[in-house]
């Protein structure tokens, strides 16, 4: 009987200790997880990549002898760049849909004479405008 009480008390102490840890401490204790990787929001990446490449197409930057040989080449390059910029480390709470649509609209209406090397150059596409609050 004393053994059962001791085991119960020990189990309770372990559970209480685990509850007092922060989420970041617990996330690194999962068996088999040695290095947390950012999660990429593929829907957000695809929407932004498509908007960027549609703009490049409209600005005559896609085609033979242009910045991008084809629309697909543009999409591949943009997805790679944006996947590095748009991940769970950038926006841990995810992306705001209204903010994302405002960013897409801003990309679509950006003048061709303005180089768009990074979406951060557009106010409506900056982290504080895109991340869910």
When mean pLDDT is compared across 10-19, 33-42, 69-78, the lowest value belongs to: 10-19
Q: Average pLDDT in the 91-103 region?
A: 90
In the DSSP assignment, the letter for residue 39 is P
**pLDDT at 68 (0 to 100):** 95
Neighbours of 59 (CB within 10 A): 16
Percent of the chain at pLDDT > 70 equals 68
The angle that helices 97-109 and 42-58 make with each other, rounded to 10 degrees, is 10
Q: What are phi and psi of 95, to 5 degrees?
A: -110, 145
Is the model more confident about 90 or about 62?
62
Q: Please provide the average confidence, as pLDDT, over all residues in the chain.
A: 76
Contact between 75 and 56 under an 8 Å Cβ cutoff? The reply is no
With residues binned 3-state (H G I as helix, E B as strand, rest as coil), the percentages for the chain, rounded to 5, are 60, 5, 35
Confidence of residue 121 (pLDDT cuts 50, 70, 90): confident
Confidence of residue 9 (pLDDT cuts 50, 70, 90): very low
Contact between 132 and 61 under an 8 Å Cβ cutoff? The reply is no
Give CA–CA dist 65/12, Å, rounded: 69
Q: Average pLDDT in the 33-54 region?
A: 77
Whether the pTM exceeds 0.75: the reply is: no
When mean pLDDT is compared across 5-14, 43-52, 84-93, 121-130, the lowest value belongs to: 5-14
């Amino acid at each position: 009987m004393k053994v059962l009480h001791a085991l119960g008390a020990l189990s309770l102490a372990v559970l209480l200790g685990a509850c007092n840890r922060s989420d970041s401490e617990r996330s690194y204790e999962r068996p088999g997880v040695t290095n947390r990787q950012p999660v990429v929001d593929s829907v957000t990446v695809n929407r932004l990549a498509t908007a960027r490449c549609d703009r490049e197409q409209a600005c005559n930057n896609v085609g033979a002898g242009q910045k991008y040989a084809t629309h697909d080449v543009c999409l591949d390059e943009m997805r790679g760049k944006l996947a590095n910029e748009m991940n769970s480390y950038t926006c841990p709470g995810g992306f705001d849909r209204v903010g994302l649509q405002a960013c897409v609209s801003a990309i679509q209406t950006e003048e061709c004479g303005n180089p768009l090397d990074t979406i951060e150059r557009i106010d409506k596409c900056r982290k504080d405008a895109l991340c869910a609050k």
